[in-house]
Amino acid sequence: MSVRINLDLDTLRTLSVAHDLGSLARAAEQLGRTPSAISLQMKRLQDDLGASLFRKNGRKLVLTEGGVVALDYARRILNLHDQLLDTMQGASMAGQIRIGCTQDFASVLPSVLSHFSSLYPRMQVELRIEGNAALAAAIIKTTEPREALKTKEQIAREANDALFDANAKELRKRQRENLRFNQDRCDHIAGGSDLSEQRDVHGRTSIVWHRTDAQIDVGVCTTCDRHFHPEDALDAQGHDYTYWRRKPSFNKLSTAGFRQFMNPLKAQHDSYLRDS
Ligand SMILES: [Zn+2]
């Protein structure tokens, strides 16, 4: 296997410039080299390629057929090379830049900024044209920490989450309103609300009373889930805790976490059997 030589990119660029300018001497001037250095580069390139690239035509530099092919490849190679550099260093640079400027210098900005944005298409430029005092204040403000830039995905996800939260909040609010509505309408009488026909014949409540460790009786209505505490304010029906506590409960008092409440229909049935 033969060992390949590596062509020098700098030499390929000299070839391209020399062809554009029409002479090695002008290329040397443009590239800041001596004419002999340029000549040497071209000689080495011809040696590496094993072909003669130029033919003299008076003072003008003319390419041979091999030279045309070499120039074509050289330009493609340089193009790819330059693209690589641009991509890695320039075009891939993304972010935000803030420019503050006084009115005096604002006239040069359009051309400068359009050149900048063509070099760095993913950079966002924020421009402020202000007086000196406002610019100084803005500089002080930018030294304060600010929020990192968000990706499109992050913004979309956050918007989605916010919508979801708002919906969930609205749902919980409606559930609370619904519960409150039912509690206000419930007369806590065994068997259900006034919409129910299953009332307890003895007017007993559907409240389960539970004696806490502190020996306080707290209740919960099995129909509407309303809780009864000694410190309760008057309810929608104008009754307080004492009123409901005095009422006979359909359920047994439970203690220490043991709760027992009975089936109101079965109780009616039992009392029917007992009374008849
Ligand atoms: Zn109730």
- Could you tell me the CATH number of the domain that includes residue 72? 1.10.10.10
Residue whose pair of structure tokens reads 């059997």 in the numeric block: 273
35 and 62 within one domain: yes
Coil, helix or strand at residue 123: strand
Q: How far is the CA of 207 from the centre of ligand 1 (A)?
A: 7
Q: What would the two tokens of residue 253 be? A: 């008092």
238 and 164 within one domain: no
Q: How far is the CA of 184 from the centre of ligand 1 (A)?
A: 8
78: closest CA among 20, 10, 6?
Answer: 10
Would residue 267 count as lying in a domain?
yes
* Alpha-carbon torsion angle 163, 167, 173, 174, nearest 10: 150
Would residue 197 count as lying in a domain?
no
79 and 16 within one domain: yes
Q: How far is the CA of 273 from the centre of ligand 1 (A)?
A: 27
- Could you tell me the CATH number of the domain that includes residue 117? 3.40.190.10
Q: How many CB atoms lie within 10 A of CB 34?
A: 11
pTM over 0.75: no
Range of the structural domain that residue 21 is part of:
9-91
Would residue 201 count as lying in a domain?
no
Would residue 200 count as lying in a domain?
no
Domain total in the chain: 4
Q: How far is the CA of 80 from the centre of ligand 1 (A)?
A: 79
Note down pLDDT in tens along the chain; length 276 residues.
Answer: 567 888 999 999 999 998 888 888 888 998 899 989 999 999 999 999 999 998 877 777 788 999 999 999 999 999 999 888 877 776 667 778 888 888 887 788 888 888 888 877 778 888 888 888 888 888 887 776 666 678 888 889 999 999 999 999 999 999 999 999 988 888 888 765 555 556 676 778 888 888 877 888 888 888 888 999 999 888 888 999 999 999 888 776 665 444 444 555 555 556 666 655
Q: How far is the CA of 224 from the centre of ligand 1 (A)?
A: 4
Q: What would the two tokens of residue 133 be? A: 């005092």
Q: How many whole angstroms separate alpha carbon 71 and alpha carbon 76?
A: 9
Residue whose pair of structure tokens reads 């993913």 in the numeric block: 122
- Cβ atoms of 206 and 189 within 8 Å: the answer is yes
Would residue 202 count as lying in a domain?
no
101 and 84 within one domain: no
> Strands, DSSP E only, in the chain?
54-57, 60-63, 95-101, 123-129, 207-211, 217-221, 227-228, 254-255
75 and 22 within one domain: yes
Q: How far is the CA of 183 from the centre of ligand 1 (A)?
A: 6
Would residue 57 count as lying in a domain?
yes
79 and 33 within one domain: yes
- Those residues with Cβ within 8 angstroms of residue 218's Cβ, 6 or more apart along the chain or in another chain: 209, 210, 212, 227, 228, 229, 230
Q: How far is the CA of 193 from the centre of ligand 1 (A)?
A: 7
76 and 29 within one domain: yes
103 and 85 within one domain: no
End position of a domain, from candidates 91, 111, 131: 91
Would residue 195 count as lying in a domain?
no
